[in-house]
């Protein structure tokens, strides 16, 4: 799961109150883009049968922080932040 967010460097809180963009790569073969809504809903678009939810927005984001993704009312998965990339980090590799 990758999400494009802007963090407060001191508090680790998500600064953007608006919708965020991201993608899941569930099987290593194809990426599934989504919008993370303000209320924690993961929206895969109008053609998706149901929408997932997450508590990521309530998190103090940092490497090692844990959050949940709720696929339905009875099934969820635990996730852990493993990497935080700085803005423009790809361009600086050269």
pLDDT band at 90 (very low <50, low <70, confident <90, very high): low
DSSP letters, the chain, are -EEE--B-TTT--B---S-EEEEE-SSSS--EEEEE-TTSEEE--TT-SS-EEE-GGGS---TT-EEEEESSSS-EEEEE----PPTTTTTT--
Q: What is the pLDDT of residues 47-83, one digit of tens each?
A: 777 779 999 988 899 999 999 999 988 899 999 999 9
- The pLDDT of residue 12: 86
Query: In which band, very low, low, confident or very high, does the pLDDT at 31 lie, cut at 50, 70 and 90?
Result: confident
Both tokens of 3, joined, read 């999400």
């Amino acid at each position: 799961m990758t999400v494009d967010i802007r963090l407060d460097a001191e508090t680790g809180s998500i600064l953007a109150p608006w919708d965020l963009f991201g993608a899941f790569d569930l099987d290593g073969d194809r990426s599934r883009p989504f919008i993370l809504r303000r209320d924690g809903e993961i929206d895969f678009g109008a053609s998706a049968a149901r929408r997932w939810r997450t508590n990521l927005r309530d998190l103090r984001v940092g490497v090692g922080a844990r959050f949940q993704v709720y696929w339905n009312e009875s099934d969820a998965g635990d996730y852990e932040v493993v990497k935080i990339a700085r803005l423009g980090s790809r361009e600086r590799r050269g």
